[in-house]
Structure 1
Amino acid sequence: MKQSFAISGGTVGSQSQGAPHVYVKIVTDSGIAGWGEARPSHRWSGETLETVTSTIEGYLKPALIGAEVEDVRSIRSRMNKEIKADLSGGQPIAKAAIDMALYDAIGKARQCRLADLWFSGFRSSIRLSYLISTASPEEAESKAAFAASNGYRGLDVKLGLNPESDLEILEAVKGAAPNLFLRVDANQAYDLQRAIKLSRAMERIGVDVFEQPLKADDLHGHAELRRKTNVPVALDESIWTTGNLMQAIRAEACDTAVVKLTKMGGLTGAKRCGELAREAGLGLLGGGLTESRLALTASAHLFNYLQIEEPVDLNGPIFLEDDPIESGPSVEEGTVELPDQPGIGCRISEDKLKLYGR
């Protein structure tokens, strides 16, 4: 990693220790290889490097050998039978890597892009937001100024690292980049009263969306917050499945849903959640967690399909010094040019995997 990355729950990657990424390769009878990626973090979810790898090796792999690669529904049923689909989907990050690899293999076999599999138009690029994760207002201001002068259209500011400096950080960021879309992510850091007080100050500052201010299971608290602020509320950790999303819709707990491949069990689950949120009239934001360019590309294709117009938080290029992607997207600060290739469109260096692997 080029720099450490912290959220309100703690560090999710550092220069000294790096960050865990798990790659899955699915090979069909005809020799076509599909690739998927999981990015677990024990600070953000209940899955770790160890649980993801043991789940795949010990449970999912034996259940899936011999399955028809294009029968994605049956494969998901097999995975959910082997690892029960609880409220979070049952090890969704592990399942996401397999689901992603399936789509890559199917696209390569059919010689078509993900957009073609979804019967939608191919969009060749996507705009990124710039992630700011620091407890220092001065550093936050410097990073916001960098983003504004380097082509970024949005900022994703992590709060709760030092709650006493939250407002000072937001004021510094807004002053340095007043015209960028401002997404503020608390990662469940606050109680309701603190969130209400903060959101009223955010109205004055000009925050565009307040993401996951309260605990994931506090839908009623989020609904109460919405009644007391004009800042739109987005839910991330509260929504892992379509079932979670329907509960949030019924509770009127959010204005916007955050779509992430890894938390939603892969492309299949994330696509279903995004489509349901759209039908319910919610806004959509795209997110990630320092995934490499493989999951970044898969995510970007999906976000384009869902017509997410706000800059997306695919922050791997900001934090990762290197990854095992031999060819794929071209990342130029605030813009990603996507590969016009079958499947996800990335080629993996297995030599790099050996270099970084355990």
Structure 2
Amino acid sequence: MPREYRMMTEAPPPLEITDLTTTFVSRNRRTEVVRGVSFTVRRGETMMLLGESGSGKSVTARSIMRLYGPSAEIGGSVKLLGRELLDLAEPQLRAIRGAQIALVPQDPTGALDPLRRIGSQLTEVLAAHGVERVRGAARRRAEELLALVGIPDPKRVADSYPHELSGGMRQRAVIAIAVSCDPQVLIADEPTTALDVTVQAQILELIAELQQRLGMAVLMVTHDVGVAAEFGGRVGVMYAGKLVEEGPARQVLSSPRHPYTAGLLDSLPTPGIARGALRSIVGSPPSVGAFPLGCAFAARCPHARRSCGEADPPLVAVGADRVAACPVVNTEAAVA
């Protein structure tokens, strides 16, 4: 088949982000939080956004779905299956959210209505997107979805209020709502926060199983390097509202090409390192909206040069399917 014909017939990726910017606007202030983020998530692929609190990960995820309303100016391009979301009116977005692109929020307790039973909240989503409007059939589908996410007694849980469930069960219920309409893209924003280690592993395994079964593209936000390593796929490391490194998880987390990524890995507890002897990244991240000229990590970076404070380094190729934004480290690597 000629290459030109293949390119014309290839389906667009589920999620394609180009130069995404998010600026929060108040009466007297404009605060830039996300600064030119670009990445693509293909069908069945996982993309992890990794970084410290305040790096812009969650704002990036929620900006994709335009959940901030008029309080945020969002620029760049967000394409869902080739369709530009930033051009759509709010009624069009409401039809897409939950149906084609869905969110698993960080706090399941806050995401669920405390005054309504879980089954009612599920059937409402099914009806809103035209999946199942007949009451009895919707109820059966709700129980099927709860069983799908590993809830052993779906009928009881469907009849329960959120406060009657454990944290892990609430998170499973939220995931059931998110996948109820078979979305093409699932965004999981710190889905294991506030869960114990055993339940964290179960939730991550559940998301991986659903991804494989439903063929979804998954964008997952996390501050936990261990979660990023366990889930695999691709990793985009964020710092001060920008991607500073991106590539296959196994490569990025075993051989980082940006000092910030290396710092995150060095701060992990590992066998053989005495308690209290862990390395840490010196200093603190810049305040949101007060980013310095040049590389935002320069003040904390052991490789910093005078030139690092003069220009913000762009992402450049540092290997097959990998990019990083540190000319100093990558020049040293090339020389070595």
TM-score by length of 2: 0.31
Q: Which has the higher strand share?
A: 2
TM-score by length of 1: 0.30
